[in-house]
Structure 1
Amino acid sequence: MKILITGATGLIGSELVALLLQNGITIHYLTTSKRKIESQPNYHGFFWDPNQGIIDENALMGVESIIHLAGATISKRWTPKYKQEIIESRILSSNVLFKALKANPHSVKQIISASAIGIYPDNLSKVYTEEEQEVDESFLGKVVLKWEESVHKFKLLNIKVAKIRTGLVLSNKGGALPEMMKPIKLGLGSPFGTGKQVQSWIHIHDLVELYLYAVQNQLDGTYNAVAPNPITNKKLTQEIAAVLNKPLFMPPIPKLLMSIVLGEMHTLLFASQNVSSKKIQNHGFVFKFKQVDKALVDLIE
């Protein structure tokens, strides 16, 4: 089997590449850096530049599924210019893939696209399933909506579309967890605001396994990629401190302070999204890490 991956060198992409290669899958990957192009028996790089509408169409040869992870990080200050980059990096890359598939004979049956639970409104009590129609009015909510719309159109080419709405990814190689650990290690850790906001998380091992599952089972539709047991920000902070064996005695971090420090991006820390994993579980996917304490022990110790 041959899969084309965008965003293959990112935090999730690099873990996913390793898993797919272990499973005997041949990988084509797209990169905007010609220096990152490799050619190994089961791992071939191809150049693209979504901003210019450029793609090496050889990347599509023999490919059955596309895993689309490309997109500028949201963990960087949201200036007006960068907000545009966040949106365009997702939309333009989808458009380039769509045009290439439309214009060339291909064997692609499915596209699996990263998405985010940021599409769900901020709510302390509601549990969100994939059936939810309301979209959060924040910048991130609008980004995810446009992002999903850009991949939904692949259905026009008779290609299955799976959208993987991902929660807070826990990894010891990057992302949020190492940043959350820094102040706790210094004895300065504390929850954000009330700490009551619900955080729907997933261990990176389970996330990449879910992508593999989506390929093997030719998933179509929207799926939440979150562990079965979301927790509050306060509880997550306590669990990290417990694994690190560090005390928590600092007062909660005020929302106003973080809005000054981070600008609009501070909403990522205070939004509450209690998201259900039942759809993917009912389909047959089994999470290895269902409880956050076991996930943290695996990643930190």
Structure 2
Amino acid sequence: MENYQNKKVVLAGGTGFVGKYFADQFKAMGYQVILISRNNAHIQWSNQQKVVDALNDAEILINLAGKSVNCRYNQQNKDEILHSRVATTKILGNAILKCNHPPKLWINSSTATIYRHAMDRPMTEHDGEIGSGFSVDVATKWEQSFFDFDLPKTRQIALRMAIVLGAGGGVMQPFVNLVRFGLGGKQGDGKQMFSWIHLEDLFQIVLFIQNDKDLKGTFNCSSPNPIDNATLMRKLRQNMKINIGLPSPEWMLKMGAALIGTETELILKSRWVVPDRLLKAGYEFKFPVIEEALEDILKN
């Protein structure tokens, strides 16, 4: 087994659901893990010299920073969502330019929401159609701010992440609660596609990309088997052994979203994304189908 003892991974914005899992996994492998965040316990975004020092000699930089999109899209929140992604990406890129020994690999988060609402066919990196609207504008500006940097010594990868499923956080708890209270039926007409990825596959994909030095550019980061919303809710009910699941029509979702301070787009947009480039590169998913993923996540 390779010794990672003196090797460094930098997680930017690594205090959330995905970041905590990544930090634990990298530490278990023996890496030194350094976090950049707004938390005083970590390196601050505003401390440019410390950011540069952290990135110098790093094996990998993974940027997960960005305000949650689980909010109302008023102007203030929209500005924060965009700024929190683009500004942090620019801080990291400018810091890499100042490094004597820049990170070998920079993985920047992106989102599968960059593609249009798709009910007719899946979106690949090659033939996926970029959509329109606020969420898509954020994604395109985010990726542009990333790829605008010309970094000859640092390989750059943007991960267009589908909805990440894992135990103890993310979207699983709200879905589980709906099912538990008998409200786990289809949402809207239930035909909207749900592209997802297991948290462990997300981590393994990072390691896979690290090991294959020829990979660069954008990658769809999703299970090869997306499902529709009605199937997702049915599989959840089956796993939890709850037979009744009342559906939520669109009008109810809009009312509920306003009450809890979120947007129906997060549920009703049809994200139909497949990981064409990862499959062609030879990545083998640990959790390729939703039944296996749910069984693993909900086993405790």
TM-score scaled by structure 2? Answer: 0.90
Work out the CA distance in 2 between the residues paired with 1:300 and 1:142: 35
Match of 1:294 in 2: 292
- The residue identity in structure 2 corresponding to 1:9 is T
- Residue segments in structure 2 that go unaligned for 5+ positions in a row: 1-6
- Does the Cα contact within 8 Å between 1:197 and 1:272 map onto a contact in 2? yes
SS in 2 for 1:191: coil
The partner residue of 1:48 within 25, 45, 48 is: 45
Letter in 2 for 1:107: P
Counterpart-to-counterpart distance in 1, 2:52 and 2:245: 56
| Residue of structure 1 in register with 2:60 after alignment | 65
In structure 2, the partner of 1:77 is 72
| Residue number in structure 1 paired with 2:199 | 204
1:25 and 2:22 aligned: no
- The percent identity for this pair of structures is 28
The one-letter code sitting in structure 2 at the alignment partner of 1:238 is R
> Are 1:102 and 1:157, in contact at CA under 8 Å, matched by a contact in 2?
no
RMSD: 1.9
What is the deviation of 1:135? Answer: 1.7
The letter of the residue matching 1:47 is Q
Aligned pair partner of 2:17 in 11, 14, 21: 11
SS state at 1:112 partner: strand
CA distance in 1, matches of 2:25, 2:184: 34
> What is the Cα deviation at residue 257 of structure 1?
2.7
What does 1:37-186 correspond to in 2, within 5 Å? 37=42, 46-49=43-46, 56-132=51-127, 134-156=129-151, 158-186=153-181
- Any idea what the Cα deviations from partners look like across 1:224-247, whole Å, max 9, x if unmatched? 111111101000000001111112
Cα deviation, residue 54, structure 1? 7.8
Query: 2:251 aligned with 1:245, yes or no?
Result: no
| Unaligned stretches of 5+ residues in structure 1 | 38-45
Structure 1 residues 249 and 189: alpha-carbon distance in aligned structure 2, compared to 1, 3 A threshold: closer
CA positional deviation for 1:48: 2.0
Residue identity matched to 1:291: V
Q: Does the 8 Å CA contact 1:55/1:96 hold for their aligned counterparts?
A: no
- Alpha-carbon separation, structure 1, partners of 2:208 and 2:112: 19
User: Given the alignment, which residue of 222, 231, 236 partners 2:218?
Assistant: 222
The number of equivalent residue pairs is 289
In 1, Cα distance between the equivalents of 2:129 and 2:150? 22
Deviations 1:251-270 (A, max 9, x none): x3122332233257211111
Report the AA paired with residue 266 of structure 2. L
Match of 1:272 in 2: 270
Query: SS at the partner of 2:14?
Result: coil
1:188–1:102 Cα change, 3 Å: same
User: SS of the counterpart of 2:44?
Assistant: strand
Letter aligned with residue 218 of structure 2:
T
Helix, strand or coil at the partner of 1:127: coil
Q: How far is the alpha carbon of 1:61 from its aligned partner?
A: 2.6
Task: Please tell me whether the aligned partners of residues 124 and 198 of structure 1 are also in contact (alpha carbons under 8 angstroms).
Answer: yes
The 8 Å contact of residues 125 and 276 in structure 2, kept in 1 or not, is answered as no
2:44 aligned partner, one-letter code: F
> In 2, are the aligned partners of 1:238 and 1:248 still within 8 Å (CA)?
no
> Which is richer in strand?
1
The 2-side partners of 1:238 and 1:30 are apart by: 40
Letter in 1 for 2:290: V
Q: 1:100 to 1:239 in 2, by over 3 A?
A: same
How big is the shift at 1:213? 1.7
> Do residues 189 (structure 1) and 189 (structure 2) align?
no
Counterparts of 1:217 and 1:66 in 2: how far apart (Å)? 16
| Contact 2:195–2:227 (Cα < 8 Å) also in 1 | yes
- Give the Cα–Cα distance (whole angstroms) in 2 for the partners of residues 103 and 300 of structure 1: 45
TM-score by length of 1: 0.90
1:203-237 CA deviation, whole Å, 9 max, x = no partner? 11111111122222233111111111110100000
Q: Does 16-25 or 180-189 show the bigger shift?
A: 16-25
- The aligned residue for residue 232 of structure 1 is 228
Contact 2:51 2:95 in 1 (8 A): no
Distance 1:70 1:144 in 2: 13
